[in-house]
A and B are shown apart, each in its own frame.
Chain A
């Protein structure tokens, strides 16, 4: 009998595939694949359960639903007939091969600073490293007159920066420069984390453009992309560089867990980055000063913890917290390292806008598996168990206990988000099985 080591078979297959795909320099393809990871192209250009890069993912925008496009090298429906110049025009300039302006859901204002050598690697990868898939693009569901492409062109003229290869500033630390290149460029972190102006443009596209850069977004799809600036209470001022690297690599640190849209960024993009690049990203982010000039460090306050220990749940929301949250997050709000996030001092909890916190309480969330940390941990939904006032009470309890300080939320805010989200209805015990994607 034969027990061929299967790995050997796989690598042989891979070698065969690469050889068949014309003559691209394998190093260039590898670089392009890595850069495509850094740009997280796959996240938007792949539908749920669809083929990689074949597009079709619906994207909610304030003006309507867009569908991402097929960027596989299929000649009929993808970008197989794109020259490098066509590709570059789309990615860095925001102009489709057919000449119209792309919706800025495609983050070409960020990609404008990607260097040409990197663009050539990306092009090589998309032409030769990606399997062509025939899948026609879907029209966007944006009503006229917003569907007109002409205003987009004006938008592009006004808001998109000049396309120019990134170059470090004179005397810039090379690690910080690399971090700036990745964060401002391919990483397009600002697409979510920078507040947008009246024209939906990001208010700042790099560190040098002011304190709005990465200062946190307004709610989108029921989540807040939090501030990545140095603020202690609401930003990442309390995080170390090592924690940021660990977070981006594994989706978790001793004190926190990734959630919402950032989960996909970690899973599809960040976990593939080299240690050097993650360090560069972290160091650059850590170099952003606090947006709030009066920023003060968080300090733990044990008053609530002691009261709960002594059985005093007289504070509004305390009993709800003990009955629903404390099993995992503990009465001292510290959670358990790497498994259940700390609520005490957590910048998401302390943010001015509590949307993400309310969202998680209502709908729960799952910490995703990553290569280096394959465990998934799920917080169940509480929408069926707590009414709007109870959610507001428990959220307010969390936001004002253990030293946390954040403005109160109202039952109306909870009601609003509940209506927006697809969550198990109040009063009906849900079948938890119905809440998870079927496994095969």
Chain B
């Protein structure tokens, strides 16, 4: 028998970036907010306690801050006729768990988005004609413009203490940032992080081949910073323990560091941990949410009534929760009807490693999660796709995040894989190697989608979420083309040898190799309730007091990392709730 608690104004499901931003915004609006986090309390201290945190085995290899797959996971298959199997070992993607979510263990790469990517379908149709987008590619427009999001990108950068170098501010060229980047209302709050040596080599080589290098925007503070909430960050010391770790220097932005201390000052906010939400409860006609049901640390079922439900868990948990709660029509790939689970997309990575002689010291142990040097010459639609016949692109970068002792060893092609030969090769290569990535976009397709698994259940007896996903022709073409362009930079560095890691035509999605944790879509935003699960304010089309915040709203992938856009959309949605919804609760967009 479930215990029903006293109602609150708003319940926030999942306390990562999206949940923290919404909780902050809603308490500022005077609402009493309860945030429910499935995992435990965690914070910079003790979870990033120096020097204990500098422990690759515990944190990265054994995934201390990652989702506990023994309680809940996803199943994965490559096509709609396959049988999905559970993802039992963390490898391809690393969802977070606990307070801060993946925002505690992320790297810190903090991009905005290219304006045309917010209206990708319209843009490609306008520039390349209606027939250019291949059959089965279901890319869409977001329904929100860069101009509308710009103030929120700007504010989020100030909250995150983002380091970078602007190109254009208010129409004026102000610095040596990315010349392809859209106009900004303000510069970055902190100057760009210094180039590590390998990034410096990349910058020089990129210039030599006529590309336009810039310092990557990083939510790793280049100096002390006090954000608009009055909370402080320390400066990054390039220790390299970013992705997979809580930052002991207090310099990598996280919900725990950048928002939670301010929330703790509010009497209106309560954070309940070890509280696993099972479903959003709906009233009898399914048009309105009445609250949520969750299982607490003692295993008791608790009903938390609320006027407003913010679904802000990780991308696929958002989709899972919508499916379990019956919010929105589940997507059916055979008919193309339904919206929840539609347009599941990811990131399409390629890597080149360059090996130098012993006189080039790349010091790969130095690094910062979000820093580095990138070029955007082959990202987004910054180059002519017409003769190339594919959609999408990729930034290239040296984003040296600090090579750790276990996974940090890269050997040149042909090196022995064991014994004294391996040892010698490791010795020769370790501080004389650099790695660059093509962090490519991944488009959405009719048959890449999410639904409930018919077989496997989680620890609470609920069906697991099933991923149906594979790479498509467009993706091979894109990644192989851009990798060839990146090769020019690698070769301009005059290395001894290079190793190119790029997908071959026909390669399947490999769940065993780390790709990124940038899973997208499934509860996408848009202008039409027939093709999107949430409207342009991230409000459910079907249940108006449910807002679904996160990368689940992206209709397709981008070449950039998603967190910057997630944060901007969260502030954008919060503004709509504060300024419109609270005054007049109901659908903010008429279908």
Instruction: Tell me if B41 counts as interface (CB < 8 A to partner A).
Output: yes
Instruction: Tell me if B405 counts as interface (CB < 8 A to partner A).
Output: no
User: Contacts of A1 on B, CB cut-off 8 Å?
Assistant: 288, 307, 545, 585
Instruction: Tell me if A261 counts as interface (CB < 8 A to partner B).
Output: no
Nearest Cβ on chain A to B107's Cβ, whole angstroms:
19
Beta-carbon contact of A6 and B9 below 8 Å: yes
User: Contacts of A297 on B, CB cut-off 8 Å?
Assistant: none
- Please report the C-alpha to C-alpha distance between residue A432 and residue B45 in the assembled complex, in whole angstroms: 8
Instruction: Tell me if A15 counts as interface (CB < 8 A to partner B).
Output: no
- Please report the C-alpha to C-alpha distance between residue A136 and residue B31 in the assembled complex, in whole angstroms: 39
Binds B, one of A46-54, A114-122, A152-160, A332-340: A332-340
Specify the chain A residue showing the minimal Cβ separation from B257. A375
Specify the chain B residue showing the minimal Cβ separation from A250. B230
User: Contacts of B474 on A, CB cut-off 8 Å?
Assistant: none
User: Contacts of B229 on A, CB cut-off 8 Å?
Assistant: 374
- Please report the C-alpha to C-alpha distance between residue A7 and residue B249 in the assembled complex, in whole angstroms: 36
User: Contacts of B585 on A, CB cut-off 8 Å?
Assistant: 1, 3
Instruction: Tell me if B284 counts as interface (CB < 8 A to partner A).
Output: no
Instruction: Tell me if A314 counts as interface (CB < 8 A to partner B).
Output: no
Instruction: Tell me if B174 counts as interface (CB < 8 A to partner A).
Output: no
- Please report the C-alpha to C-alpha distance between residue A328 and residue B223 in the assembled complex, in whole angstroms: 12
User: Contacts of B224 on A, CB cut-off 8 Å?
Assistant: 336-339
Beta-carbon contact of B545 and A374 below 8 Å: no
Instruction: Tell me if A371 counts as interface (CB < 8 A to partner B).
Output: yes
Q: Name the prevailing secondary structure of the A interface residues.
A: loop
The interface centre, meaning the residue of B46, B262, B545 with most chain A CB atoms within 10 A of its CB, is B46
Number of interface residues of B (CB under 8 A): 43
Beta-carbon contact of A369 and B264 below 8 Å: yes
Given known contacts A369-B261, A374-B231, A327 and B237 CB-to-CB distance under 8 angstroms: yes
Partner among B30, B46, B230, B248 whose Cβ is within 8 Å of the Cβ of A435? B46
Instruction: Tell me if A77 counts as interface (CB < 8 A to partner B).
Output: no
Beta-carbon contact of A328 and B234 below 8 Å: yes
Instruction: Tell me if A238 counts as interface (CB < 8 A to partner B).
Output: no
Beta-carbon contact of A372 and B31 below 8 Å: no
Partner among B44, B52, B262, B268 whose Cβ is within 8 Å of the Cβ of A6? B268
Instruction: Tell me if B582 counts as interface (CB < 8 A to partner A).
Output: yes
Can you list, as one digit per residue, whether each of A370-391 has a CB less than 8 Å from chain B (1) or not (0)? 0111111110100001000000
Partner among B47, B230, B250, B308 whose Cβ is within 8 Å of the Cβ of A373? B230
User: Contacts of B262 on A, CB cut-off 8 Å?
Assistant: 374
Beta-carbon contact of B50 and A336 below 8 Å: no
Number of interface residues of A (CB under 8 A): 36
Nearest Cβ on chain A to B309's Cβ, whole angstroms:
12
Specify the chain A residue showing the minimal Cβ separation from B226. A338
User: Contacts of B237 on A, CB cut-off 8 Å?
Assistant: 327-328
Beta-carbon contact of A3 and B32 below 8 Å: no
Specify the chain A residue showing the minimal Cβ separation from B248. A327
User: Contacts of A3 on B, CB cut-off 8 Å?
Assistant: 9, 31, 307-308, 582, 585
User: Contacts of A327 on B, CB cut-off 8 Å?
Assistant: 50, 237, 239, 248-249
- Please report the C-alpha to C-alpha distance between residue A324 and residue B162 in the assembled complex, in whole angstroms: 28
Beta-carbon contact of B232 and A439 below 8 Å: no
The interface centre, meaning the residue of B50, B264, B288, B585 with most chain A CB atoms within 10 A of its CB, is B50
The interface centre, meaning the residue of B52, B223, B257, B264 with most chain A CB atoms within 10 A of its CB, is B52
- Please report the C-alpha to C-alpha distance between residue A371 and residue B248 in the assembled complex, in whole angstroms: 23
User: Contacts of B261 on A, CB cut-off 8 Å?
Assistant: 369, 374-376
- Please report the C-alpha to C-alpha distance between residue A429 and residue B249 in the assembled complex, in whole angstroms: 20
Nearest Cβ on chain A to B373's Cβ, whole angstroms:
25
Instruction: Tell me if A436 counts as interface (CB < 8 A to partner B).
Output: yes
Beta-carbon contact of B31 and A5 below 8 Å: yes
- Please report the C-alpha to C-alpha distance between residue A296 and residue B157 in the assembled complex, in whole angstroms: 45
Nearest Cβ on chain B to A385's Cβ, whole angstroms:
8
User: Contacts of A376 on B, CB cut-off 8 Å?
Assistant: 45, 261
User: Contacts of A10 on B, CB cut-off 8 Å?
Assistant: 267
- Please report the C-alpha to C-alpha distance between residue A432 and residue B42 in the assembled complex, in whole angstroms: 11
Can you list, as one digit per residue, whether each of A384-419 has a CB less than 8 Å from chain B (1) or not (0)? 010000000000000000000000000000000000
Beta-carbon contact of A339 and B268 below 8 Å: no
Instruction: Tell me if B113 counts as interface (CB < 8 A to partner A).
Output: no
Beta-carbon contact of A336 and B235 below 8 Å: yes
User: Contacts of B9 on A, CB cut-off 8 Å?
Assistant: 3-4, 6
B residues 263-304 in Cβ contact with A at 8 Å: 264-265, 267-268, 273, 288
Can you list, as one digit per residue, whether each of A352-375 has a CB less than 8 Å from chain B (1) or not (0)? 000000000000001001011111
- Please report the C-alpha to C-alpha distance between residue A3 and residue B585 in the assembled complex, in whole angstroms: 9
Q: Name the prevailing secondary structure of the B interface residues.
A: loop
Instruction: Tell me if A2 counts as interface (CB < 8 A to partner B).
Output: yes
Instruction: Tell me if B173 counts as interface (CB < 8 A to partner A).
Output: no
Beta-carbon contact of A432 and B234 below 8 Å: no
Instruction: Tell me if B313 counts as interface (CB < 8 A to partner A).
Output: no
User: Contacts of B226 on A, CB cut-off 8 Å?
Assistant: 338
The interface centre, meaning the residue of A3, A324, A369, A435 with most chain B CB atoms within 10 A of its CB, is A3
User: Contacts of A380 on B, CB cut-off 8 Å?
Assistant: 45, 49-52
User: Contacts of A429 on B, CB cut-off 8 Å?
Assistant: 52
Given known contacts A2-B307, A336-B224, A7 and B268 CB-to-CB distance under 8 angstroms: yes
- Please report the C-alpha to C-alpha distance between residue A29 and residue B421 in the assembled complex, in whole angstroms: 81
The interface centre, meaning the residue of A5, A6, A369, A372 with most chain B CB atoms within 10 A of its CB, is A6
Nearest Cβ on chain A to B10's Cβ, whole angstroms:
8
Can you list, as one digit per residue, whether each of A1-45 has a CB less than 8 Å from chain B (1) or not (0)? 111111110100000000000000000000000000000000000
Beta-carbon contact of A432 and B47 below 8 Å: yes
Instruction: Tell me if A433 counts as interface (CB < 8 A to partner B).
Output: yes
Nearest Cβ on chain B to A341's Cβ, whole angstroms:
11
Beta-carbon contact of B232 and A375 below 8 Å: yes
Beta-carbon contact of A339 and B31 below 8 Å: no
User: Contacts of B308 on A, CB cut-off 8 Å?
Assistant: 3
A residues 417-440 in Cβ contact with B at 8 Å: 429, 431-433, 435-436, 439
Nearest Cβ on chain B to A188's Cβ, whole angstroms:
27
Beta-carbon contact of A369 and B234 below 8 Å: no
Instruction: Tell me if B450 counts as interface (CB < 8 A to partner A).
Output: no
Specify the chain A residue showing the minimal Cβ separation from B33. A6
User: Contacts of B51 on A, CB cut-off 8 Å?
Assistant: 324, 380, 385
Given known contacts A324-B51, A327-B237, A366-B45, A373 and B232 CB-to-CB distance under 8 angstroms: yes
Nearest Cβ on chain B to A434's Cβ, whole angstroms:
8
Beta-carbon contact of A340 and B234 below 8 Å: yes
- Please report the C-alpha to C-alpha distance between residue A1 and residue B44 in the assembled complex, in whole angstroms: 39
Given known contacts A1-B585, A327-B237, A369 and B265 CB-to-CB distance under 8 angstroms: yes
Given known contacts A374-B261, A435-B46, A436-B46, A336 and B234 CB-to-CB distance under 8 angstroms: yes
Beta-carbon contact of B232 and A6 below 8 Å: no
Beta-carbon contact of A375 and B50 below 8 Å: no
- Please report the C-alpha to C-alpha distance between residue A77 and residue B284 in the assembled complex, in whole angstroms: 53
Nearest Cβ on chain A to B62's Cβ, whole angstroms:
15
Given known contacts A3-B31, A372-B230, A432 and B46 CB-to-CB distance under 8 angstroms: yes
Instruction: Tell me if B233 counts as interface (CB < 8 A to partner A).
Output: yes
Given known contacts A338-B224, A374-B262, A328 and B46 CB-to-CB distance under 8 angstroms: no
User: Contacts of A433 on B, CB cut-off 8 Å?
Assistant: 46-47
Task: Name 21 interchain pairs, CB-CB below 8 A, sorted by A.
Answer: A1-B545, A1-B585, A3-B307, A5-B30, A6-B32, A324-B51, A328-B50, A336-B223, A336-B234, A337-B224, A338-B226, A338-B232, A339-B232, A374-B261, A375-B231, A375-B232, A377-B232, A378-B45, A431-B46, A432-B47, A433-B47
User: Assuming A339-B224, A339-B233, what are 19 further A-B pairs, CB within 8 angstroms?
Assistant: A327-B248, A328-B237, A336-B224, A338-B224, A369-B264, A374-B229, A374-B265, A375-B261, A376-B45, A377-B232, A378-B46, A380-B45, A380-B49, A380-B51, A432-B46, A432-B52, A433-B46, A435-B46, A436-B46
The 10 closest A-B pairs by CB, nearest first: A432-B46, A378-B45, A432-B49, A374-B261, A5-B30, A339-B234, A7-B30, A6-B32, A375-B232, A375-B231
Residues of A within 8 A of B (CB): 1-8, 10, 324, 327-328, 336-340, 366, 369, 371-378, 380, 385, 429, 431-433, 435-436, 439
Residues of B within 8 A of A (CB): 9, 29-32, 41, 44-47, 49-52, 223-224, 226, 229-235, 237, 239, 248-250, 257, 261-262, 264-265, 267-268, 273, 288, 307-308, 545, 582, 585
